Structure 1
C-alpha cells in the first residue's frame, strides 16, 4: 500500500492538473458479423452518471490528425474506454509495455475529471515479466513485458498494487472512462508502440467475466463524423469553464508572457504534465520568437533509455487555437528542437512569414502558426521532472513568479518583424 503521504501527493497532483491533453475521439464500429459483448449499463438507482455504451474495447482515439480537441499533443496518441461498473465489478486491462517514451493509464469520471492514474514506471509487471520503464535488465522481448491493471469501484485513489479507483470518493458503483496514453513511440508510424492495445474484460461480482473485443482499427467511423464525435464535442463544451479557456496569468495577446494557466475545466488532464501558456495574436509580417534553456530528456528516438538520468521525461512547445474546442495547430517536442549551447530558439509564424534562417541548420526551430483568424495559445509542457530538478513547471507554487522558479529554463517571448529577423537573425529580436 502507498503511504498516506504518497496518496495525499497523488490527490494533489490529480487535483492540480488543470489543463486538458485531448482525450477525445470517436467510436470504431465493428463489422456486421463481429460478435462483441456490450459493456454493462449502470444499474438503476446507483447514482452513476451515464457514459456512452460501447460494444468493443478502446473505441475512442485522439490525435490532431483524427479529432482535434482540447490542446492535443502531436507526438502522443490517446485511447479511451467508457465503462459502467455495478457494485463489485472491476475492469481488467492486460497489456504489454509499449516501446515508447511514456505510457500511462488514467481513470476519469463522467465529466472528464481525473480519479486515479498509474504512470509506466509505477505499473508492476506480471509474474515472469519485467518493466522496461523501471528495470534496466528488462530485455527486449515483448512477451516478457506484460502487465495487468484493474480499475475497481469502492477503493481510494492511490491504493497501488496495479489498482485504479474507478469511481470518485470510493463510490461502490458508477461510470467513467479509462485512458491509455502513449508518447513518442519508437516507430513513429506505429502509435501503439509496437504492441497490441491492452485486452479488456469486466469481472463481475460472483465470478463471471465479460470479455470485450478490441475495436477494429480502421474505418471512417473513427473520423470527425463518427458516432461518438458529437457526444464528445458536447462534453468538451459542457465542461469548459465559463467563457472557455480563461487565459494565462495577466498575459494578453498584445503583451504575451508565459504564465500558469488561470483555469481550465475537467477536460481529461494528464496528471504527469504541468504547463505554462501565453496567448499570441497574428499580424501580417510579424513573428513570435521564444527562447530558453532546454531541460535534458531521454532521447528515445536515438535509442536512449528512459532510465537515463535526465531532468524531464518529456517536454514540448505547442501552438493551439484559442477557441472551442481548443484544437492544436503544431508542436515541437524536445527531440525535434534544435539547440545552440543548450538553448532553444523557436520562431512561430505563418509559412509566408517564415524567416529564411528559421531552420534547424541555423539552430532555430520553426512552428507553424496555424489559422490566423483566431488568437493562438502557446503551451510549454513539462512531464515527470526528476526530484532534483527544481526548475520544472511542477515546482511553481500558487502566486509565485514562474521566471523566478524556473530561472534560465523559463521561456521568454517577444514579437518581431520578419524583415528584422531576416536582416539580423534572433539578435535583432531582443528578449524582453
Structure 2
C-alpha cells in the first residue's frame, strides 16, 4: 500500500533522503528505513538544537560521522528525554501511541567526552570544529507504523542555531552561518574503485560455479568494507577496530552471504525468529523483554552497486508455535505456488538486476539485528569474529538449501513442521 507523504521529506537542513527506491538507494539501505543527512559548520561555542517529535515507528536515532563516514557519536530513541508533559514511546512499558511526544537534541562541535559521566544530557557530539571541516549528522527512522509516512507521521527535525553570544538563528540566518557542506553529494564508497575493477575480480578465470556464492551457503559477520574485496581475491581479512562500515549504525550488526541461482532456482531458508517489538495483536506498550527490537533479512545487489532490493522484517514472516520460520527467495517467475503466507512461508524476491552489473543470477543476503537485548546471547552482535557465526547464533542463523521450484512444490502444502 502506498502511503501519502503527510510532511515534507526535505528541507534546507536535510537536503537528501536515503533509503530504498525511490529514494537515494545506496549503502545497502534497509528498505524499511529512511536516512536524512546534513553536513554543516557549527561555530565554536554554538549549539545546534534539533526540535522534533518522536516518530510513530519501530526505531529512530541520531549519529555523527567523520568526513570519511566513520562513526563519532550516537543517541538512540530510548535515550532521548521527552519535553515536559511528553512521553518517550521507546522506553519499556511506554505508550507507543502517546499524543505528546516532543523532544530536543543538541549537537555540538566537540569531541566525545572520555568519561560517560562528563556527557551533557541529550547532546550529540560531532567532533572538534578545529579538526573537521564539517560536522556530519544522520537521522534514521525504521519501519513507520501502519498508515504513517516515512517520517513516522511527525515530519523531520527542525534546526535552531544557538550562538555563544546568546543569539538564536533560524531559517535563512541559520543556513548562512551553518554553511551547508556537500554531504548530500557523498560519493558511493565501495571496495571496488570502478566497474572495471569489479568485473576483473568477478569474472576471473577458473572461478567456480556461481562465484563468489558457494553451496552450501556461507554466512559471514560483516566487519567492514575491506572484507567484501577479500571474498573475491582470497586475501586475508583485515582486522578493523570496529565491526561495521561506512555510515554504519552502531545499534545494528549484520551477517551476509553471497547467493546465486546457478546453484538452484529456489533458495529455502530455515531458522528461528527472535522475539521482537512487533505488535501483531495491536499491543500498545513498548515491550522491555524482547531479544531484539527489530529483525530483518534483505536481498541486495552486489558490493559494487550497494542497492537494497527487497526486505522481510519480523512482522512479515510467519512462524510456527516454536518460533521457526521458512523463507523462500527466488525470482517472481520461479516462485513456488506453495511459497505463501497461508502455507507458513514468507517470500523474498530475488534482485531483478542481479548484481547490478550483468550477473542476473547473483544476490546478496543481509540479516540484521537492531537494538538487541544485551542478554540475547545468540545476537549477531555477540559474534566474536568471522568464522564464529554458527557457534554463536545457533538456530537463529538460518540454514539454506538450494532446490528447484518443482522440488519445493512437491513438499506438503503446509511446509512448517
Same fold (TM over 0.5): yes
Residue in 1 aligned with 2:213? 253
User: Structure 1 residues 302 and 188, CA, compared in 2 at 3 Å: closer, same or farther?
Assistant: farther
Find the aligned partners of 1:78 and 1:296 in 2 and give their Cα distance: 25
Q: Deviations over 1:380-425 (max 9, x none)?
A: 0001111221110111112552111111112111211112112235
Deviation at 1:129, TM superposition (A): 2.4
Match of 1:112 among 55, 59, 69: 69
Residue 296 of structure 2 contacts residue 313 of structure 2 at CA under 8 Å; is this kept in 1? yes
Deviation at 1:292, TM superposition (A): 0.5
Match of 2:124 among 164, 180, 187: 164
Instruction: Kindly report structure 1 stretches of 4+ aligned residues shifted beyond 6 Å.
Output: 27-30, 227-230, 241-244
Residue in 1 aligned with 2:104? 148
Match of 1:289 among 268, 273, 284: 268
Residue 292 of structure 1 contacts residue 343 of structure 1 at CA under 8 Å; is this kept in 2? yes
Residue in 2 aligned with 1:319? 299
Residue in 1 aligned with 2:15? 59
Find the aligned partners of 1:106 and 1:411 in 2 and give their Cα distance: 30
1:185 is the counterpart of 2:144: yes
Residue 292 of structure 1 contacts residue 408 of structure 1 at CA under 8 Å; is this kept in 2? yes
Residue in 1 aligned with 2:166? 207
Deviation at 1:291, TM superposition (A): 1.0
**3-state SS, counterpart of residue 72 of structure 2:** strand
Residue 192 of structure 2 contacts residue 304 of structure 2 at CA under 8 Å; is this kept in 1? no
Aligned residues: 355
Residue 38 of structure 2 contacts residue 184 of structure 2 at CA under 8 Å; is this kept in 1? no
User: Structure 1 residues 312 and 139, CA, compared in 2 at 3 Å: closer, same or farther?
Assistant: closer
More off after superposition, 131-140 vs 271-280:
131-140
**3-state SS, counterpart of residue 283 of structure 1:** helix
Find the aligned partners of 1:284 and 1:252 in 2 and give their Cα distance: 12
Residue in 2 aligned with 1:273? 252
**3-state SS, counterpart of residue 408 of structure 2:** helix
Match of 1:419 among 406, 409, 417: 406
User: Structure 1 residues 362 and 386, CA, compared in 2 at 3 Å: closer, same or farther?
Assistant: same
Q: Unpaired segments of 5 or more residues in structure 2?
A: 1-7, 173-180, 203-210, 227-244
Normalised by the length of structure 1, the TM-score is 0.74
Q: Unpaired segments of 5 or more residues in structure 1?
A: 1-26, 31-55, 214-226
Residue in 1 aligned with 2:224? 263
Residue 84 of structure 1 contacts residue 174 of structure 1 at CA under 8 Å; is this kept in 2? yes
Match of 1:236 among 188, 191, 198: 188
User: Structure 1 residues 77 and 414, CA, compared in 2 at 3 Å: closer, same or farther?
Assistant: same
Q: Deviations over 1:29-49 (max 9, x none)?
A: 87xxxxxxxxxxxxxxxxxxx
Match of 1:197 among 139, 144, 156: 156
**3-state SS, counterpart of residue 78 of structure 2:** helix
User: Structure 1 residues 264 and 301, CA, compared in 2 at 3 Å: closer, same or farther?
Assistant: farther
Normalised by the length of structure 2, the TM-score is 0.77
Match of 1:75 among 32, 47, 56: 32
Deviation at 1:276, TM superposition (A): 0.6
Find the aligned partners of 1:378 and 1:139 in 2 and give their Cα distance: 31
User: Structure 1 residues 392 and 259, CA, compared in 2 at 3 Å: closer, same or farther?
Assistant: same
Residue 343 of structure 2 contacts residue 413 of structure 2 at CA under 8 Å; is this kept in 1? no
What root-mean-square deviation, in Å, do the aligned CA atoms of Structure 1 and Structure 2 show? Answer: 3.0
Find the aligned partners of 1:403 and 1:386 in 2 and give their Cα distance: 19
